[in-house]
Amino acid sequence: MIILFSAILVENFVLNKFLGICAFLGVSKSIKPAMSMSAAVIIVMLVSTAITWPIQYYILVPLKIEFLQTMVFILIIAALVQMIEMVIRKISPALYKALGIYLPLITTNCAVLGATILNITADYSFAESMVNSLGAGIGFGLALFLFSGVRSRLEKTDVPDTLKGLPITLIAASLVAVSFGGFAGIIENLFK
């Protein structure tokens, strides 16, 4: 539980660890694509954790080739994304349409690779890794959801010319990140 909530709120991937910023800034323009994107990220994160964890401990460690970790993981994620895309297209064309272009983009989303590597470096057990990835995914979704709300308000405001587009978006993101800073002490006190 602690892992889940701290992954969602305190250690939020986007606002605290800066993983997945490209996707965060790119698809947060309105709420619907933001939601599809985060659904896709949660799925890919969970599946890739379920695969990379055993590979790390049952293949790479016994063979003493942990140094190939980066290379192996990124290829697994790339292959997985392709596979998930095909599976979803077959099983649920409606969902495929909704996720659409966001799926391939996940390969280069550092949040996924980051989550799998963090699970290894934090020495989590398999169950803990899965929970952490779920939390990371939900946290990503939460940040994306909140921020897309902020962005849609931002669209209507009159912003000075030089700040238009990216600069004002980043500054808004900074303010959203401040609000997440407020969660810092909560988790320890909730569960102890």
Partner 1 sequence: MSENMADKTYLSPEQRSEEKRKLNAPMRILLDGVLFENPALRLILGTCPLLAITISAKSSFFMGLAVIFVLVGSEFIISLLKNMIPPKVRIPAFITIIAAFVTIVEFVISAYLPALNDSLSIYIQLIVVNCVVLARAEAFASKRPAHFAALDGFSMGVGFMLALVLIGSIREIVGAGTIFDIGIPIFGKTIFGEVIEPIAFFTSSPGGFFVYGLLICLSQVVMRQIEKNRKHKTNALNQPITSGSGCSSCGACPMADLKAESGVK
Site for partner 1, rule CB under 8 A: 15-23, 25-27, 29, 67-71, 74-75, 78, 102, 104-105, 107-110, 113-114, 117-118, 121, 162-171, 173-175, 177-178, 181
Q: CA dihedral defined by 155, 169, 108, 90, rounded to 10 degrees?
A: -20
For 57, the token pair is 């401990």
Radius of gyration, CA atoms only, the chain: 18
**Residue partners of 36: CB distance under 8 A and separation at least 6:** 98, 99, 100, 102
Residue 5 or residue 147: which is nearer to partner 1 going by CB?
A: 147
How far apart are CB 163 and partner 1 at their closest, in Å? 6
Hunting for tokens 């049952």 — which residue is that?
58
Q: Which CB sits closer to partner 1, 111 or 191?
A: 111
Q: What is the nearest approach in angstroms of partner 1 to the Cβ of residue 25?
A: 6
User: In angstroms, what is the minimal distance from the CB of 141 to partner 1?
Assistant: 16
- The crossing angle, in degrees rounded to 10, of helices 69-91 and 31-54 is 130
When the beta carbons of 91 and 175 are compared against partner 1, the nearer one is 175
> Which single residue is written with the structure tokens 């349409």?
97
Residue type for position 29 = K
CB of 26 to partner 1, least distance (A): 3
Output 166 or 192, the one with its CB closest to partner 1.
Answer: 166
